[in-house]
Each structure stands twice: as structure tokens, then as C-alpha cells.
Amino acid sequence: MALRKALSSVAVALAGVAVLGAGLSGCAPTIASNGFQAVDVKPTDIKAGVDSRSSVLSKLGSPSTAAAFDSNIWYYISQTTEKYTYYKPRLLKRDVVVIKFDKDDKVTSVNTLHLKDGYEIAYAANETPTRGREVNWLEQILGTIGRGGGMINPDQNDPGRRPGQ
């Protein structure tokens, strides 16, 4: 009888440790790296006046994006985020490498921007109003009763049909 009590208390203790371990493993963050990842050559290895557009392309690959109004500016963007379970991801690191070319496709400058160089953008909380009203699920279901949705009347204007056809 004493042995049975001892085994049950050990089993309860082991179950408690297992539940505690499972709970604590949920607290470990998930680290994600997105965007450009330097493999062999880092963007800081690109030299102004020495490298050309083709050598940058062969060393780093295609850029994350190019400037909207100037195709002679390339951006290589990478970021690292951390996410805990049930929380929004938190941005840990962001690097933007800006490579500028002249008219002869030679590199004129290589600049690296970090997270501290960015700006916080305040989004407007206003919403654009839309016409009409919101209907709940019951009104959506009951709203089709009595409309004769199963039969198509050729005299009516059906979607995709021009009037008079």
C-alpha cells in the first residue's frame, strides 16, 4: 500500500514537471529572418568606383527593389523579427543597403541604413464610410427567400447580359 502511494505521488510529480516543461517551452521566441540574406559576399564588400552593375548583380544577386523614379538606385532589404506565442511580432533588426550607380553603370555609393534610421508612420484611424448598412447572418439567409433565385427569367437584366439581348 505504501509502495502504491509512493508510485502515485511520483507519477503526479512527473506529470506536473511535464506540464510545467510544456508551458515553459511555449515561452521560447520564434526568430525569423526575412528579405535579403548575404551568403558569400556582404553588401559592405561592394566598393564605389570599382564595382559595376553587373558585378553587383553577380555578387549579391538581384536587389529586393529598385527606386520607383530612378532605376540607378538599388535596395537590398533584410529584417529580423521575434515572436512569442499569442503576441504580435517585434522587429529586432532591419538593414537597408542602398547602392547607387552612375550613367556608366559604375557604383557611386554604398550606404547602409539601420532600424534607428527609419521613421514611425502614424496611420490615420479614420475609416472611409460606405453606402448601405451592415446585415447580420440571419438577414443574409432570410433576405433571399421569396426572390425566386432558382429560376432565371430572361426578361430580367441578368449580370453579364446587356439590356435588350
pLDDT in tens, 34-85: 888 888 888 888 999 899 999 999 999 899 999 999 989 999 999 999 998 8
The 3 state secondary structure assigned to the chain is CHHHHHHHHHHHHHHHHHHHHHHHHCCCCEEEEEECCCCCCCHHHCCCCCCEHHHHHHHHCCCCEECCCCCCEEEEEEEEEEECCCCCCEEEEEEEEEEEECCCCEEEEEEEEEHHHCCCCCCCCCCCCCCCCCCCHHHHHHCCCCCCCCCCCCCCCCCCCCCCC
Task: Please report the pLDDT score of residue 27 as a whole number.
Answer: 74
Q: Which residue has the higher pLDDT, 65 or 152?
A: 65
With bands split at pLDDT 50, 70 and 90, how would you rate the model's confidence at 112? very high
Task: Please report the pLDDT score of residue 110 as a whole number.
Answer: 93
Residues 24-40: what's their mean pLDDT? 80
- Separation CA 77–CA 120 (nearest Å): 17
Percentage above 70 pLDDT, the chain: 72
Whole-model pTM: value is 0.58
What is the residue extent of each domain of the chain? 27-38+46-119
φ, ψ of residue 99 to 5 degrees: the values are: -115, 125
